[in-house]
Amino acid sequence: MMRFLLLFSRQGKLRLQKWFTPITEREKKKIIRDMTTLVLARQPRSCNFLQWKDLKIIYKRYASLYFCLAVENQENELLALEVIHRYVELLDKYFGNVCELDIIFNFEKAYFILDEFLMGGEIQETSKQMVNRSIEASDMLQEVRCTGTNAHPDLNHTRSIVISHVVFICLFAGVGILKRLGFWCFTKQ
Amino acid sequence: MSDVVEKTLTALPSLLSLDSQPGSAKLSSTAKLGNLIRGITELTSKHEEEKLIQHELASIKEQVSSPNTTMRQMRELMVRAVYCEMLGYEASFSYIHAIKLAQQGNVLEKRVGYLAVSLFLNESHELLLLLVNTVLKDLQSTNLIEVCMALTVVCQIFPKDMIPVILPIVEEKLNHPKEIIRRKAVLALHKFYLIAPNQVQHIHNKFRKALCDKDPGVMTASLHIYLQLIQENAEAYKDLTASFVTILKQVVGGKLPMDFNYHSVPAPWLQIQLLRILSLLGKNDQRTSEVMYEVLDESLRRAEMNHNITYAILYECVKCVYTIHPKSELLEKAAKCIGNFVLSPKINLKYLGLKALTYVVQQDPKLALQHQMTIIECLDHSDVIIKRETLELLFRITNAQNVTVIVEKMLDFLRLSKDDHMTIDIVGKVAELAEKYPFKHYSTMNAVFSLGGDMMQPEIPNGFLKLLSEGFDSEEEDRKLRLFAVSSYISLLQGEPSKLPQRFLQVICWVLGEYSFLKEDLEPSVVLGLLTKLLDMKSSSSETKSWVLVAMTKLCWSEAAVSEAQQVAETYSSSFDTTLRQRAQELQHLSRDSQLHSRVLPPGGRLEPDEVVDSSLSFLDGFVSEALSAGAAPYKPLHQRQEELSRSKVLSLEPYGLSLPISTSSCSITDRQSPTLLSTSSGLSGDGTDFSHRGSSTTLRLDGVKRVWGREGYLAQKKPVEEVAQVEVPSPLRSPSQQGDANSCRSKTPTPTANPECDQEKQQLASSLFGGLSSQSSVCLISGAAKMVNIQRFRRKAKGQRSSSTTNEQRANPTVSSASAVDNLLCNNLLEADTEPINSSAKQTFQHPHSLSVANGACDAEAILTDGDPKERNQPLSSEDFVEADDSPPREDQERSKDSCLTPHLPAELSGFSHSEIIPLCSSQSLDLSACHVQTDNSVVLVVFITNTSEDANLQIQVFCVCESPVEEVRGRSVSVRQYSLTVKMPLVHFELVGMLSYSIPAGMPQAMMQFSYKLPLTSFIRPLTVSTEEYGSMWLAFSHDTKQNLTLIKEEREPLTATLNALNKKLSLHVVEIIGVEGLVACSLLQDQPCLMHCRVHAGRLAVWLRSPVPDLPDCLLYHCQRALQEP
């Protein structure tokens, strides 16, 4: 069983945290501190596994982001590594060429994807298609609700379409520029 | 088309200005979060960040509490609050709003609300109760997405005691047409099983249905539960082996839809889960293992692609092959796989290879031999993790020949290690090796103490001191070793003692105090001078100081020493630390009175082993009873005092009238008990938790004390190693030709490219490391290990023979944990003999009096008993009950052969009551012991029948069952009957009485002992409680401990509730107070006068019961019996 998953940047800034067993706030803080110092101190090209107390820590760096997964002792390390990789693939599929900025600005989406992928510390769904389908299903609902609740369907419908286009154009442009500048991009495996 | 474009373009400017429009909310929301994030990244100092976030939080707070905020805005605010929390700033004001959002929002807002709740709240947070209703509503929603979200949140965070509320609905979801819902429901049940296993016991057959689900996803989810269940009890699921094998076959054969593939490997997660289940099922079971050979072979064959995921499967396969009953072909293939791992240039695989080697090396040491050069390379690897793993591997292959090199390597590692956990781990290993292979013991331990610092487990120094004090086989060696220790420690102290870790200093103090007389040219005053220096050192902890003082106490027998000691004692007798003060007082008194000193601490020697320490302090009995009769309060053990203290702090919810009266009988037990506890606490100077002090206590000698904490606890860790070392290696692996191979392979290993000099070094290392393995092959390792074990055992035995038989048992059984010696002593045999699982692990130990051991002349056993005491006090499970000694004269009658014929022996006053079946407990050639219990109106009486089966001899017997009965004689062929009345101190599902019978044939001869145990359920202590409905009502409100559960109703057409309650009344003798419509009130009491109330309601075809009682655990235990009673036909 998995115990927790942490995402943090090279500077040690926490980007996402998921705890699969009840842990007090104080302990969480301590674990986060321990993990960042432990993992960030590792040399490149050393192995991806660590022992911490009675847990196995499996970490992997994607571009500037560290994924750090703690599993119980009898678990398979390589498999845990693949859990991380599959999560990155899922993020990639959803965001399209995902980068750290995507996760910072849309961290709630990253949580939703994680919730579809893992549940209660166990793997729930390993298929990329399935996870995406269920995320999209709830995202779609949002669109329907957005347009459906407006008072003047005609006008507002066009409005919302236009606005969302504008938003998307802005977003794409913004992300695209950043990507061209070359930082925060993931190097794909 | 152009029309539309034109329209849009003209509308654009006006649209953009409309900020409050729903469509643009998305823009503003992202913008706000974006602004915040951007703002933070621009900041340069932590202080600025703090200011910004506080500002942000203030604005969020203002907005969330404003009534005009829409749900949509709330959603956005929540996201920001979550972000602030992630940065480490508290936003507790938003918790309640997160719950509100989950409650009232539409699907999307709900999703954010649930996410925020699961990130904000802790499992024990009180606001979580507010979530229950929302979850309940969403679970019953027709919207699939809402149901999914509710199940997800249930899995993530849900109050434990509220599980029964949603359990039926989650169960229903197992039959949902959508597979995603079924899968989530299975995972939710898995979660429930993990946090509250007894709640989901009744749905085990539904898990089977999930396993057979047509959707592979649901089946995969159910495997999580099965893995858990099989881990707990593999026997019960052997019948599923074939199904698991079939599933695995299909998966490996690629029968699953493409969806399940991961990098074109079919369902790797599923495969690995199945492999783990199979290895658990096939462990130590040849028949089951045979079923899976084929599929394992196939898995090994199929997984050949060069990708991490296939290696993961291979690794699991290898582990499985080595766990189940061995098959040579598979082992060979698995060994090859391990070889590939170890030799791989990829560091992760190398790591796994080492892990796998560590796992298999006990069965197949030859494998380590094959890879010795790689192992040696790994030993110098730049990555600490790899190094540590290698040491772990070496630790497993240690034998008498290579131990020196391995320990040296470990110490090297320790010198460089910076990580605390690793240090503790390795220190433990070195100490273990040092104890196991004692020839380099002393110097190794010194290195361990100085390197391990204060982080090491306290057992290590304790074990070392114990070994030193007990000594090895020859007196002369011991003396030399001790002498050496003394002189080296003296020189250490003369150096720079402030650099030594505290624990090392404590060890030094003890050794100097105990053995410095061995060094004849050494003046005690010199030692005292050195010790005084330690006292003056700033870095010494108060614990170390008390060790120093004790050492001084032992040393102050010469003139010069006395004056110095008194000076020190003077200084510390006014210390704030009570322990230090006591030590100083002891020092002062003993140094003044040299006669007393030589009596308490004989110079140059230890207490003679036959000198018995009366740990029960029976000589104080008179004093105690006098004090009691003069009106003193009876002694209360620590836990009781603490309990009362904590109780007095909180509001008392219990009614005064029904609180448990302290009967005179319980007084007598406490008073029996008090001397023991008194002795421990005085020995410990009132500081009951600190065991390390004890090693130096002057009143209680060390022998027994450390035994429990040092050695036995240690052995518990060591056991697996020894055990596996003795496992017989499958014969094909031992064939001589292969040994030859291994040897030749060893000589061939050096790679020609490597630097010859460095290479030679490595070769040398290899030969020293693997010497034991290669020269005599695996057989040597095993016999070597076995020999070591024998020596150890022998050593232990030799010591044990002095002590009583009970101690011997205790020591010969190294698996015993150090948790509670008393428990162990009494329950060891029971646990082993008891094949039937004891429900809810409830066990009640009857502690026999300490005078038992005195009667035996076993000072060892008694030391353990005393030592176990303080620990036991903390253990809720082992509560001592009180058994009243019998007053009725034993009846002696002619014996009749059958057990059932013992019935007439029942005392007359009990014959009117129903008694349980008379069960034979134990017997020897001359003695049979049977027992039954009789339930009277206000007590439960245990009746023990002791039958002398021998023809002529008269027996002198003595039964210990908490209290000891007078010695009495039983004539040949006669029966003696004993009665004990039992009361419950703490409710458990089943009670187990443990007692001991000592007897001698004929009277006056050496005694023999018999242990016996007797089990009886809680229900024997339950009596109906007759109350009126009004009384019931007022009592109900007053009780604080409660539990709820749904039970099955008895199927009956007309009045199922009445029928069910009547059944409970009949089977458990519960009193039915009243039945009102679909509700019923039931009351009972646990002897004596501990009421438990039950409220029943028929709901949805089931009986919802709610139990309340002032006694913790009573509701739970009673509920268990209700459940059982209703399940039985």
pLDDT by residue (tens digit) across B775-819?
Answer: 443 333 333 333 333 333 334 433 434 433 333 343 333 333 333
By three-state DSSP, how is residue B808 classified? helix
Closest to B813 (Cα-Cα) out of B793, B799, B830, B833: B793
- Where is B950: in which H helix or E strand? none
A-B interface: how many C-beta pairs under 8 angstroms? Answer: 179
CA distances from A183 to A99, A105, A177, B513, B766 (A): 9, 16, 10, 67, 48
The answer to whether the beta carbons of residues B955 and B927 sit under 8 Å apart is yes
- Where is B237: in which H helix or E strand? none
- Which residues in chain B have Cβ-Cβ distances shorter than 8 Å to A51? 385, 388, 421-422
pLDDT tens digits along B489-548: 888 888 887 778 888 888 888 888 888 777 777 777 788 888 888 888 888 888 888 888
Nearest chain B residue (CA) to A167? B27
pLDDT at B664: 37
- Which residues in chain A have Cβ-Cβ distances shorter than 8 Å to B272? 76, 79
Instruction: Tell me the residues of chain A between 160 and 179 that have a Cβ less than 8 Å away from chain B.
Output: 160-164, 166-167, 171
Give B1004 or B381, the one with higher predicted confidence: B381
- Look up residue A99 and give its DSSP letter: B
Q: How far apart are the first and last CA of chain A?
A: 26
CA distances from B914 to A35, A48, A169 (A): 64, 68, 87
Nearest chain A residue (CA) to B260? A127
Give phi and psi for B147, each to the nearest 5: -65, -45
Beta bridge partners of B964: B960
Give phi and psi for B372, each to the nearest 5: -60, -40
Provide Rg for chain B, Cα atoms.
36
pLDDT at B588: 84
Give B405 or B719, the one with higher predicted confidence: B405
Determine, for residues A138 and B111 on separate chains, whether the beta-carbon distance falls below 8 Å: yes
Chain A interface mutation, best of B20, B24, B85, highest count of A Cβ atoms under 10 Å = B24
Q: Is A188 on the interface with B (CB under 8 A)?
A: no
By three-state DSSP, how is residue B365 classified? helix
Region of B374 (left: φ > 0; alpha: ψ -120 to 50; beta: rest) is alpha
- Which residues in chain B have Cβ-Cβ distances shorter than 8 Å to A188? none
Where are the strands (E) in A64-183, listed by range? 65-71, 118-119, 122-123
Determine, for residues A51 and B385 on separate chains, whether the beta-carbon distance falls below 8 Å: yes
Q: Which amino acid is at B929?
A: L
Instruction: Tell me the residues of chain A between 54 and 73 that have a Cβ less than 8 Å away from chain B.
Output: none
Q: Is B259 on the interface with A (CB under 8 A)?
A: yes
Beta carbons within 8 Å of B1077's beta carbon, 6+ residues apart: none
Can you read off the two tokens belonging to residue B674?
């008090």
Instruction: Band the pLDDT of B902: cuts 50, 70, 90.
Output: low
Percent of chain B with pLDDT over 70: 70
Determine, for residues A82 and B386 on separate chains, whether the beta-carbon distance falls below 8 Å: no
Determine, for residues B308 and A76 on separate chains, whether the beta-carbon distance falls below 8 Å: no
Say yes or no to pLDDT of B278 above 90.
yes
pLDDT tens digits along B217-276: 899 999 999 999 999 888 889 999 999 999 999 999 888 888 888 888 889 999 999 999
pLDDT at B595: 78
Instruction: Band the pLDDT of B758: cuts 50, 70, 90.
Output: low
For B857-920, the DSSP string reads: T-HHHHHHHHHHHHHHHH-SS-PPP-BPPP-SPPP--B--SSSGGGGGGS-GGGTTS-BPPPEE
Distance CA B1055, CA B1050 (A): 9
Beta carbons within 8 Å of B543's beta carbon, 6+ residues apart: B502, B506, B579, B690, B692, B693
Provide Rg for chain A, Cα atoms.
19
By three-state DSSP, how is residue B567 classified? helix
Residue matched to tokens 């606001």: B127
Distance CA B559, CA B561 (A): 5
Residue matched to tokens 């450390």: B706
CA distances from B469 to B169, B565, B808 (A): 64, 25, 19
Sign of CA dihedral B260, B262, B263, B266: negative
Chain A interface mutation, best of B274, B421, B422, B455, highest count of A Cβ atoms under 10 Å = B421
Chain A interface mutation, best of B1, B40, B259, B274, highest count of A Cβ atoms under 10 Å = B259
Distance CA B870, CA B863 (A): 13
Sign of CA dihedral B907, B910, B911, B916: negative
Determine, for residues B383 and A50 on separate chains, whether the beta-carbon distance falls below 8 Å: no
Beta carbons within 8 Å of B1106's beta carbon, 6+ residues apart: B1042, B1043, B1044, B1094, B1095, B1096, B1097
Determine, for residues A122 and B107 on separate chains, whether the beta-carbon distance falls below 8 Å: no
Instruction: Band the pLDDT of B1020: cuts 50, 70, 90.
Output: confident
Determine, for residues A124 and B184 on separate chains, whether the beta-carbon distance falls below 8 Å: yes
pLDDT at A87: 94
The average pLDDT across B1086-1106 equals: 81
Beta carbons within 8 Å of B507's beta carbon, 6+ residues apart: B449, B461, B464, B465
Say yes or no to pLDDT of B10 above 90.
no
Q: Which of B311-315, B588-592, B944-948, B1020-1024 has the lowest mean pLDDT?
A: B944-948
- Which residues in chain B have Cβ-Cβ distances shorter than 8 Å to A155? 11
- Which residues in chain B have Cβ-Cβ distances shorter than 8 Å to A47? 347-348, 350-351, 383, 385-386
CA distances from B885 to B204, B507, B965 (A): 46, 46, 7
- Look up residue B127 and give its DSSP letter: G
- Look up residue B632 and give its DSSP letter: P
Residue B183 CB neighbour total at 10 angstroms? 28
Q: Are strands B940-948 and B975-982 parallel, antiparallel or unpaired?
A: antiparallel
Beta carbons within 8 Å of B459's beta carbon, 6+ residues apart: B709, B710, B713, B714, B818
Q: Is A24 on the interface with B (CB under 8 A)?
A: yes
- Which of A52, A122, A141 is opposite residue B107, by nearest beta carbon? A141
Half-sphere exposure of A147 (CA within 13 A, CB side): 15
CA distances from B756 to B379, B382, B569, B762 (A): 19, 21, 65, 10
Out of B83-92, B903-912, B952-961, the most confident range is B83-92
pLDDT at A142: 57
Region of B453 (left: φ > 0; alpha: ψ -120 to 50; beta: rest) is left
Segments in chain A below pLDDT 50: 143-172, 175-189
Say yes or no to pLDDT of B25 above 60.
no
- Which residues in chain B have Cβ-Cβ distances shorter than 8 Å to A120? 155-156, 187-188, 190-191, 194
Instruction: Tell me the residues of chain A between 109 and 168 that have a Cβ less than 8 Å away from chain B.
Output: 111-112, 115, 119-120, 122-127, 129-130, 134, 137-138, 141-142, 145-146, 149-150, 155-156, 158-164, 166-167
Which own/partner contact pairs does B475-479 have at CB distance under 8 Å and 24+ positions apart? B479/B518
Distance CA B323, CA B338 (A): 15
Q: Is B315 on the interface with A (CB under 8 A)?
A: yes
Q: Which of A7-16, B4-13, B555-564, B1037-1046 has the lowest mean pLDDT?
A: B4-13
Can you read off the two tokens belonging to residue B543?
């614990």
The average pLDDT across B874-888 equals: 36
Q: Is B89 on the interface with A (CB under 8 A)?
A: no
Residue B491 CB neighbour total at 10 angstroms? 9
Q: Which of B158-162, B844-848, B959-963, B1073-1077 has the lowest mean pLDDT?
A: B844-848
For B245-290, the DSSP string reads: HHHHHHHHTT-S-GGGEETTEE-HHHHHHHHHHHHHHHBT-HHHHH
Q: What is the pLDDT of chain B when averaged over all its residues?
A: 72
Where are the strands (E) in B579-675, listed by range? none
Can you read off the two tokens belonging to residue B1119?
């509920």
Distance CA B695, CA B808 (A): 22
- Which residues in chain B have Cβ-Cβ distances shorter than 8 Å to A75? none
Q: Is B27 on the interface with A (CB under 8 A)?
A: yes
Determine, for residues B315 and A78 on separate chains, whether the beta-carbon distance falls below 8 Å: yes
- Where is A117: in which H helix or E strand? helix A107-117
Instruction: Band the pLDDT of B152: cuts 50, 70, 90.
Output: very high
pLDDT at B954: 58
Closest to B76 (Cα-Cα) out of B112, B41, B115, B52: B112
Beta bridge partners of B940: B935, B982
Determine, for residues A49 and B421 on separate chains, whether the beta-carbon distance falls below 8 Å: no
Q: How far apart are the first and last CA of chain B?
A: 78
Half-sphere exposure of B22 (CA within 13 A, CB side): 21
pLDDT tens digits along B311-352: 999 999 999 999 999 898 999 888 888 888 888 888 999 999
pLDDT at B270: 93
pLDDT tens digits along B432-490: 887 777 656 677 777 777 777 777 777 777 877 777 777 766 777 778 878 888 888 88
Can you read off the two tokens belonging to residue B1070?
């519960």
Residue A111 CB neighbour total at 10 angstroms? 21
Determine, for residues A47 and B351 on separate chains, whether the beta-carbon distance falls below 8 Å: yes
CA distances from A53 to A95, B690, B716, B893, B989 (A): 35, 24, 20, 64, 35
Q: Which of B134-148, B378-392, B869-883 has the lowest mean pLDDT?
A: B869-883
Nearest chain A residue (CA) to B109? A142
Chain B: nearest CA to A53, how far in angstroms?
A: 6
pLDDT at B874: 36
Beta bridge partners of B1106: B1044, B1095
The answer to whether the beta carbons of residues B568 and B535 sit under 8 Å apart is yes
Can you read off the two tokens belonging to residue B441?
């013991």
Model confidence pTM above 0.80: no
Where are the strands (E) in B334-423, listed by range? none
The average pLDDT across B857-866 equals: 32
